[in-house]
Every structure is written in structure tokens, then in C-alpha cells.
Chains A and B, each alone.
Chain A
Amino acid sequence: NAGVTQTPKFRILKIGQSMTLQCAQDMNHNYMYWYRQDPGMGLKLIYYSVGAGITDKGEVPNGYNVSRSTTEDFPLRLELAAPSQTSVYFCASSFSQGVEAFFGQGTRLTVV
């Protein structure tokens, strides 16, 4: 049972570099989410998707982009990395909106 799989687990980026955080789920969930977790700040929603081809902004979308070409995958892209994007990123999925979400193990990103 893979659940939600995130890659990579760790990454160090230089300011201005770009990268894509990968997220895949095998539970056939329509809803997928990207959160960032800063120390002592809980989880903040970056983007979410209610199904393939549909995405929407969350609380903190600036500096990020997403796409949802398939039900299984929901990659998060950082185009011009900034130190403020240093954080732990979690992908999650759920069967429907607002019910229990299943989380991946996270990607720890450091921008220097």
C-alpha cells in the first residue's frame, strides 16, 4: 500500500534555481493538496486540485505553480527559488473535499 509518495525527500537549491516536487497517489482520490510547514506554524495550503485538469489557489500560492494532468500525479513547481521558500512540503490526497486527507512523508527543501 503505497498511499501518497513524495520525491525527493530532501533538496538544497540555490536562490533563483527551479525545481519540481513530485507527488503521486494510488488511492484513486480526486482531491490532492500541497501544504508547506514552517516551524511552529502548522500547515498552510499552497494549491489544491479537485480533479484532473482542475487546480485552485490556497492560502499561500505565490512563487509556486501546479498542474494536474492525471488523477494520480500533482507536481508542485518552484520557478525562482527564494530563501522564504525554505520549508517542509507535504502533499496530501482525499476521497472528497474536507474529509480525512492522507499525507506523504514530506520534502524538506532548503534554499540558500
Chain B
Amino acid sequence: GQQLNQSPQSMFIQEGEDVSMNCTSSSIFNTWLWYKQDPGEGPVLLIALYKAGELTSNGRLTAQFGITRKDSFLNISASIPSDVGIYFCAGKYSGNTPLVFGKGTRLSVIA
């Protein structure tokens, strides 16, 4: 099946630091989504991207749809303890195909 490579797998950062994570695909996507999952909860949508080159912010979060349409990046500025969780990227190929999810980046914030 189709696969997304998400990195890093996990991160330990100090409170106040900025965070970057990314997803890459071997195929072209026409939609990229970023989700966050808190422990014991379902994933919650953070940012949706629909056009190559698109840069979208949601508070301290910024995500970009790569120009090649094969990658996407998520940045979190000035991290806080509540940023802890697992961040998933998800993408969609053209046509009538469901979303494909990456394996997630587990973020830990040290106060």
C-alpha cells in the first residue's frame, strides 16, 4: 500500500524551543493534513493544506505543502507542555482514494 515517511519518530525538547517535523511520500499528493493525538483520545485536525506551496498557520503552528507535492512540514514555535502528544501527517492522492497516515511523531516537552 501507499506509505508516508514521517520523521522524526520522537522528540524531547525544552519548553520554549521550536519544533520541526516532516512527512515525505514517494507519490504526489493533492492534500496534506496534520493531526494531533492526546493520550487516550482520537486525533484532532490541526491544519489542512490543499495547494502546492501553501503555507498555513494556526496559532503557534505553521504547516507547508511542499512545492514538489511529495512532502509537508509542520513547525511549532515556542513549545509549551500542552504540546505533548503524537503528531500525524496524512495525505491524499488524486482520485477517489482515502487518506494515508504517517506513523506519527511523539513529542515530549520538558518544563
- A interface residues with partner B (beta carbon < 8 Å): 4, 33, 35, 40-45, 48, 58-59, 90, 92, 97-106
Further contacts, 4 of them, CB under 8 A, given A33-B98, A92-B42, A97-B92? A41-B103, A48-B98, A103-B43, A104-B42
Interface residues of B in 1-58 (CB under 8 A from A): 1, 6, 9, 31, 33, 35, 40-45, 48
CB–CB B103/A98 < 8 A: no
In Å, the complex CA distance between A58 and B1 comes to 10
CB–CB B41/A106 < 8 A: yes
Contacts A/B (CB < 8 Å), 8 sampled: A4-B42, A42-B103, A44-B101, A45-B98, A97-B92, A98-B98, A98-B99, A103-B43
Contact residues in A for B103 (Cβ distance below 8 Å): 40-42
Contact residues in A for B102 (Cβ distance below 8 Å): 42
Query: Quick one: which of A41, A43, A48 contacts B43, CB cutoff 8 A?
Result: A43
Least Cβ distance of B4 to chain A in Å?
8
Tell me whether B73 is interfacial, beta carbon within 8 Å: no
Majority secondary structure of chain B interface residues (helix, strand, loop or mixed) = loop
Contact residues in B for A43 (Cβ distance below 8 Å): 43, 88, 101
In Å, the complex CA distance between A90 and B33 comes to 17
Residue among B6, B43, B98, B104 having the largest count of chain A Cβ atoms under 10 Å: B98
Residue among B35, B40, B43 having the largest count of chain A Cβ atoms under 10 Å: B43
CB–CB A105/B98 < 8 A: no
Q: Which residue in chain B gives the minimum CB-CB distance to A98?
A: B92
Query: Quick one: which of B42, B48, B97, B104 contacts A103, CB cutoff 8 A?
Result: B42
In Å, the complex CA distance between A92 and B1 comes to 20
CB–CB A99/B48 < 8 A: yes
Query: Quick one: which of B1, B42, B99 contacts A105, CB cutoff 8 A?
Result: B42
Contact residues in A for B92 (Cβ distance below 8 Å): 97-98
Contact residues in A for B97 (Cβ distance below 8 Å): 97-98
